[in-house]
């Protein structure tokens, strides 16, 4: 367990989301799938798509940063609660 915040916890820095594991990458992959589905079905288009994408990106970045910050505490609590063999 590392008590330091690593950028890799948030993003791998890759421009493709196929094999990334950072919180931001995983959440953006899910958000993009949902947003693209709305676009493909015609429920959202043009400027609304751009606005929604920007808002989603900001929200996901905020949430992924919080998850990365809280990860050491969650890991420590999980290890503490795990029964010894």
Provide the angle, in degrees to the nearest 10, between the axes of the packed helices 23-40 and 46-81: 140
**Domain coordinates in residue numbering, the chain:** 21-74
Segment 8-36 mean pLDDT: 81
> What are the b/e assignments for 10-25, b being 16+ CB within 10 Å?
bbeeeeebeebebbbb
Q: What tens digit of pLDDT does each residue of 39-72 get? A: 999 999 889 999 999 999 999 999 998 988 888 7
């Amino acid at each position: 367990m590392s008590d330091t915040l690593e950028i890799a916890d948030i993003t791998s820095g890759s421009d493709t989301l196929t094999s990334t594991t950072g919180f931001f990458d995983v959440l953006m992959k899910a958000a993009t799938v949902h947003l693209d589905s709305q676009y493909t079905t015609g429920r959202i288009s043009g400027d609304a798509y751009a606005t929604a994408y920007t808002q989603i990106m900001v929200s996901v970045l905020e949430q992924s940063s919080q998850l990365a910050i809280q990860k050491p505490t969650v890991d420590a609590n999980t290890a503490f609660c795990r029964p010894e063999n």
